[in-house]
């Protein structure tokens, strides 16, 4: 009996409260103070590991060549430190596999390292062929992984898929229009010269100048000189003009000043007459050098 009374006493307050009577104020239960490292942090969805054999490359990926030495180095890094970043994949009903959107090099290196699974970010929405190509192209361009001919073919594919011109491709990808036009010009060259450009024997800039020639024999002749290292980009442009019958009577200097709103003046000069396209190329090269100095904390004295 005493046990029954004790139990009734322990629940008396709850019973009375349920009837509308409360004898003592209750303090609300507060959540514990969050840890500073958890403030603003939210879990992300769509990330998980999957069997590496359930992932396949996209046959339409702009990048088609991977350097074996670079893959070996990445495989060693993954073997020692693990996979540091997930790859992006989408489901392919046709293949019943996860198809790579971005990260094929990491996937290849992970397979080379013998990993049974791979970390992925799973894209669940629909992607049109054009949207997929755009994402893959941007991914590669940001890392500067594409070879010149691969970049050119990707631009051409976007133009064909969407009915765009070169300017529209540039606007969509947020790259200079001159970059697109120079890349597309490589597609006018014979395949053997394009291979030499991709191999690094001939600079993309020199190849762009050679593309202005209609005579294939002249293109190959100048390509051989460029590959031997005795033909600079400026000389290639000059020789192309000569072969096209556009000699300059009198060489003239170029000097232009571009003032900024902050009071800076960017001065471009050359010992010969140039075009705005050549000036743009020079400014892009100068900007690359400035960014290199910033990354290496070079001071201005």
Q: Which residues carry out catalysis?
A: 104
**Cα angle, residue 205 at apex, residues 202 and 207 outer, rounded to 5°:** 55
d(CA 155, CA 13): 76
Residue among 251, 190, 185, 183 at smallest CA distance from 216: 190
Asked if 118 and 87 count as a contact pair (C-beta separation under 8 A), the reply is: yes
Question: In this structure, are strands 87-92 and 47-51 parallel, antiparallel, or unpaired?
Answer: unpaired
**CA distances from residue 28 to 13, 25, 266 in whole angstroms, order as listed:** 17, 10, 66
Tally Cβ neighbours within 10 Å of residue 136: 22
Token pair recorded at residue 45? 């969805």
d(CA 243, CA 252): 20
Sequential DSSP letters for 54-89: GEE--TT-S-----HHHHHHHHHHHHHH---SPEEE
């Amino acid at each position: 009996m005493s046990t029954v009374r004790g139990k009734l006493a322990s629940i008396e307050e709850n019973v009375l409260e349920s009837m509308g009577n409360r004898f003592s104020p209750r303090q609300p239960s507060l959540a514990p103070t969050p840890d500073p490292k958890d403030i603003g942090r939210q879990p992300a969805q769509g990330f998980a590991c999957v069997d590496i054999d359930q992932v396949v490359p996209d046959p339409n990926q702009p990048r088609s060549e991977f350097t074996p030495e670079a893959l070996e180095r990445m495989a060693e890094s993954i073997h020692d430190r693990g996979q540091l970043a997930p790859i992006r994949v989408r489901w392919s009903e046709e293949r019943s596999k996860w198809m790579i959107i971005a990260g094929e090099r990491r996937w290849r290196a992970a397979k080379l390292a013998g990993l049974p699974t791979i970390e992925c970010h799973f894209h669940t929405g629909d992607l049109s062929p054009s949207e997929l190509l755009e994402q893959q192209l941007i991914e590669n361009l940001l890392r500067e992984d594409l070879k010149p001919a691969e970049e050119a073919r990707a631009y051409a594919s976007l133009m064909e898929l969407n009915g765009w011109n070169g300017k529209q491709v540039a606007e969509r990808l947020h790259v200079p229009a001159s970059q697109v036009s120079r890349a597309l010009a490589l597609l006018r060259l014979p395949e053997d010269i394009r291979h030499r450009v991709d191999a690094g024997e001939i600079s993309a800039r020199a190849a762009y100048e050679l593309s202005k020639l209609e005579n294939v024999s002249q293109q190959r002749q100048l390509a051989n000189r460029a590959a031997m290292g005795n033909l600079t980009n400026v000389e290639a442009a000059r020789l192309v003009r000569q072969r096209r019958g556009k000699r300059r009577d009198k060489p003239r200097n170029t000097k232009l000043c571009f003032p900024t709103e902050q009071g800076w003046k960017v001065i471009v000069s050359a010992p010969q007459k140039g075009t705005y396209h050549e000036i743009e190329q020079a400014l892009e090269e100068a900007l690359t050098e400035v960014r290199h100095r910033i990354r290496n904390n070079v001071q201005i004295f």
